[in-house]
Amino acid sequence: MRYHRVFCFTAAMLFLLSCTVPSQTFTTASKNKQAEKIRSACRYAWKGYKQYAWGYDALKPVTKTGQNWYAVSFLMTPLDAYDTFILMEMKEEAKEARELILSGLNFNVDQEVQVFEINIRLLGALISAYELTQDHPFLDLATDLGKRLLPAFNSPTGMPYRYVNLKTGTTRDPVSNPAEIGTYLLEFGKLSQHTGDSIYYKIAKKAAFEIYRRRSDIDLVGTLIDVNTGEWKNMECQIGARIDSYFEYLYKAWALFGDKECFEAWKIHNKAIKKFMFTRIPSGGYFTRVDMKSGKETHSYYGALDAFYAGILALSGDTITARTIQRGNYYMWTRFNLEPEEFNFRNDSLLYPNYALRPENIESCFYLYRQTHDPEFLIMGRRMTDDILEKCKTDAGYAAIKNVSTLEKEDSMESFFLAETLKYAYLLFAPETLLDLKKIVFTTEAHPLIKDQQFSADPF
The pattern of x and - marking residues 245 through 284 that bind ligand DMJ according to CB under 6 A reads x---------------------------------------
In the complex, the smallest distance separating the C-beta of residue 102 from ligand DMJ, rounded to whole angstroms, is: 23
The verdict on whether 363 is a catalytic residue reads no
Nearer to ligand DMJ, 83 or 376 (CB): 83
The pattern of x and - marking residues 180 through 219 that bind ligand DMJ according to CB under 6 A reads ----------------------------------------
From its phi and psi, is residue 357 left (phi > 0), alpha (psi between -120 and 50) or beta? left
- Name the active-site residue from 180, 306, 339, 360: 360
In the complex, the smallest distance separating the C-beta of residue 421 from ligand DMJ, rounded to whole angstroms, is: 8
Nearer to ligand DMJ, 171 or 183 (CB): 183
Contact between 307 and 364 (Cβ < 8 Å): yes
Which of 269, 327, 358, 382 contacts ligand DMJ by CB under 6 A? 358
Q: Should residue 444 be labelled a site residue for ligand DMJ when binding is judged by CB under 6 A? A: yes
Length of the chain: 460
Contact between 375 and 318 (Cβ < 8 Å): no
The verdict on whether 117 is a catalytic residue reads yes
In the complex, the smallest distance separating the C-beta of residue 280 from ligand DMJ, rounded to whole angstroms, is: 25
In the complex, the smallest distance separating the C-beta of residue 120 from ligand DMJ, rounded to whole angstroms, is: 6
| Interface size with ligand DMJ, residues (CB under 6 A) | 11
Per-residue burial over 333-367, b if 16 or more Cβ lie within 10 Å, else e, is bbbbebbbbbbebbeeebebbbbbbbbbbbbbbbb
The verdict on whether 342 is a catalytic residue reads no
**Can you tell me the distance from the alpha carbon of 199 to that of 188, in angstroms, rounded to the nearest whole number?**
9
H helices within 150-243, ranges in order?
178-182, 185-195, 199-212
Residues numbered 285 to 324 that lie near ligand DMJ (CB under 6 A) are 305
Residues numbered 392 to 421 that lie near ligand DMJ (CB under 6 A) are 416, 420
**Can you tell me the distance from the alpha carbon of 206 to that of 426, in angstroms, rounded to the nearest whole number?**
36
CA distances to 116, 199, 207, 257, 445 from 254, rounded to whole Å, are: 20, 19, 16, 5, 18
In the complex, the smallest distance separating the C-beta of residue 444 from ligand DMJ, rounded to whole angstroms, is: 4
- Name the active-site residue from 36, 117, 374, 411: 117
The verdict on whether 259 is a catalytic residue reads no
Mapped onto helix, strand or coil, the DSSP state of residue 407 is coil
**Can you tell me the distance from the alpha carbon of 394 to that of 296, in angstroms, rounded to the nearest whole number?**
44
CA gyration radius for the chain?
Answer: 21
Nearer to ligand DMJ, 124 or 284 (CB): 124
**Can you tell me the distance from the alpha carbon of 30 to that of 4, in angstroms, rounded to the nearest whole number?**
46
In the complex, the smallest distance separating the C-beta of residue 21 from ligand DMJ, rounded to whole angstroms, is: 24
Q: Which residues have a catalytic role annotated?
A: 117, 244, 341, 360
Q: Enumerate binding residues for ligand DMJ (CB under 6 A).
A: 120, 244-245, 305, 358-360, 416, 420, 444-445
